[in-house]
Amino acid sequence: MRPAAHFQVDSRLATLLGESYRSSEYAIKELVDNCWDADAENVWVNLPDPLTADPIIIRDDGHGMTEREVLNEYLVVANDRRSRKGERTPFKNRLVKGRKGIGKFAGLMAADVMIIETKARENITRLRIRRTDLLEAKKDLERIDLPYETENCDPKERGTTITLSNLNQNLAFPNPEKLKQLLILEYGRTADFKIRVNGDLLDIEDIPGQSFTEEIDLADIGKIKLRFTIAEGTKKLKQSGVVVRVGGKIVGKPNYFGLEDDEEIPNKLLNKMYGEIEADGLADDVTADWGAIIENSKKYQELREWANSKLKSKVENVFAQEVNLAKARLQKEINKRLEQLPEYRREFAKTALERVMRRFYGESEEKIRVIVSIVLEAFERDEYWVVLQKIDEAKHRDVETFAEALGSFGLLDMALIAQQTIRRNRLLDEFDELIANPNTLERTMHVALEKNLWIFGSEYSMMSSNETLARTIEEYTKKKFTGERAKKRPDLFLAHDVLDRHLLVEFKRPSHIIIRGDENQAEEYRDDLTSFFGKMMIIVLGDKKDPKISDYYDKADIKLISYRALISNARTQLQWLLDEFTKNPR
């Protein structure tokens, strides 16, 4: 009988075993990464049907391991293989993915039993590892008996099979579609690494998003098929773009067929495009090493023109949809501000907002709010209207004059945003001076901030007060604080937005330390006013919070903020916007 095998423990084991995978799908991907490192050309992943006792099986046709390699390398935990064998694999020169030598434990996240069967050099080695044994052993893994066996096999056989059984019933069964989405983004462009999940070869359509297919028969090239997907979300895809496949082989690198030079299409959208064009008719136009297509090939130029047209049409449609969705979430707030503009400016304001939202496609809703607020602020002034009048006058002159005027209007979008941002920064400088002055009173800060609610954050930028709200606060404080108590009358401000959300701000002196009593008092004011207006958010402004106030008891609907922190956060948002103007104008 063969002696038992044992783990050989690296001193970093305790730390590394504390790491985990976010889902069963990520754990399985880790095992597929091991197949890549083994120079496999094919990987087969079989997932069980839900509520069955079937195992998960990952099989590859890589170089496999000998008994000696299993004992002296595979079971050496937390030993970086790159330090032993280099950064690249021996046969296919792939960049090694295994980093910490613990990928072998990935399968045990989803299952209790992992069986490794690996074939190399006329031998099969089978090893069995149980998760419960590892958990019970804790730091004494080197004392665990790991039963294994070896036997002879056909010299042509090679590769490794991982079988995961007794699946963890506390986890959802691995989802084939989620696993495909993970793997296609990592391995979709590799020509010599094919992955099948439940028998299905990974495909472009496994990427979540909108997929498109176009076919044509061009006179000089023959049949062409374009397939691509514009992925969901904001994450940039690995090797985004469209590749050309000739005779089943990818030629050259992914590209965007001229869309990268189109000012109407943002780079952030192109980074979500993933596809390929099958064009076997270009076989005679490929370089000798098949590394590229000859650029001045007439056939290739014909293909580029056709691909550009088809890609642009679909991409613009998706772009318009996503911009409209982003705008729709802010539309009520935008409409309220537009209604306050003179009628002759509204349509121009809508056009400018459309262009600006396209310009900042892909940014967070918080940042979009800041930009929208600044653009509307510019329209509420006179700068836009001066240029628009020039455009109107230019319509009656030559085309060149009119084009120049329109160009000025496009540049004005960016120029005025930058200008308004600089103005806001200067205003923040003035607020800094007020805060630093020990004689500044609550009322001074109230008057300064009530017309600049954007300082509180993007979610408050389109809030406003009105006579009804102001009168309610005035009547409430006069009634509540009479006689001797009139000296303690608080400085309150009430605002609301088009969604009928209300904000109650209590202003303290910039030199006043905010204590827990201030928070409690503000809640009493809100309780009194709730009967008039419903639910309210509270902000108490002062110097800073008393260090004795524990954040553990913070409430979601009450914020205790120092004036300095308020100004600092507003300045950070503005700095982001100014930084945008130093980047690519697209």
CATH classification of the domain holding 16: 3.30.565.10
| Pair (357, 458) in one structural domain | no
Residue 417 forms part of a structural domain: no
Q: What is the percent of the chain with per-residue pLDDT over 70, rounded to a whole number?
A: 84
Greater confidence (425 vs 43) lies with 43
| Pair (61, 189) in one structural domain | yes
Least confident of 37-41, 290-294, 299-303, 361-365: 361-365
How far is 567 from 432, CA to CA, in rounded Å?
8
Taking alpha carbons only, the member of 505, 508, 506, 504 closest to residue 529 is: 504
| Pair (137, 228) in one structural domain | no
Residue 12 forms part of a structural domain: yes
Residue 87 forms part of a structural domain: yes
| Pair (35, 108) in one structural domain | yes
In this prediction, residue 11 carries a pLDDT of 37
Q: Which of 392, 412, 432 is the last residue of a domain?
A: 412
Domain count, the chain: 4
The answer to whether the beta carbons of residues 195 and 277 sit under 8 Å apart is no
Per-residue pLDDT of 94-113, as tens digits, reads: 888 876 566 777 888 888 89
| Pair (275, 335) in one structural domain | no
Q: What is the mean pLDDT of residues 216-224?
A: 91
How far is 23 from 51, CA to CA, in rounded Å?
18
| pTM more than 0.75 | no
Q: Which of 245, 278, 312 is the last residue of a domain?
A: 312
| Pair (70, 173) in one structural domain | yes
What CATH number has the domain bearing residue 208? 3.30.230.10
In this prediction, residue 386 carries a pLDDT of 54
| Pair (68, 166) in one structural domain | yes
Q: What is the mean pLDDT of residues 151-166?
A: 93
What CATH number has the domain bearing residue 450? 3.40.1350
Residue 420 forms part of a structural domain: no
Q: Which of 201, 233, 267 is the last residue of a domain?
A: 201
Compute φ and ψ for 224, nearest 5 degrees. Answer: -130, 135
Show the domain range for 63. 8-201
pLDDT at 405 over 50: no
Residue 583 forms part of a structural domain: no
Residue 317 forms part of a structural domain: no
Q: What is the mean pLDDT of residues 192-198?
A: 94
Mean pLDDT rounded to a whole number for the chain: 82
Side-chain-side CA neighbours of residue 531 (13 Å): 5
How far is 398 from 377, CA to CA, in rounded Å?
32
| Pair (72, 190) in one structural domain | yes
Residue 41 forms part of a structural domain: yes
| Pair (517, 462) in one structural domain | yes
In this prediction, residue 101 carries a pLDDT of 63
The answer to whether the beta carbons of residues 160 and 116 sit under 8 Å apart is yes
Most confident of 81-90, 144-153, 218-227, 400-409: 218-227
User: pLDDT grade, residue 125 (50/70/90)?
Assistant: very high
In this prediction, residue 330 carries a pLDDT of 82
In this prediction, residue 533 carries a pLDDT of 80
User: pLDDT grade, residue 201 (50/70/90)?
Assistant: very high
In this prediction, residue 138 carries a pLDDT of 58
Per-residue pLDDT of 63-93, as tens digits, reads: 999 999 998 888 877 666 656 667 888 889 8
| Pair (296, 376) in one structural domain | no
| Pair (252, 106) in one structural domain | no
| Pair (279, 382) in one structural domain | no
pLDDT at 290 over 70: yes
Taking alpha carbons only, the member of 565, 441, 438 closest to residue 491 is: 441
H/E stretch holding 34 reads helix 24-37
Residue 367 forms part of a structural domain: yes
Most confident of 36-45, 482-491, 520-529: 36-45
Tokens of 144: 């665990």
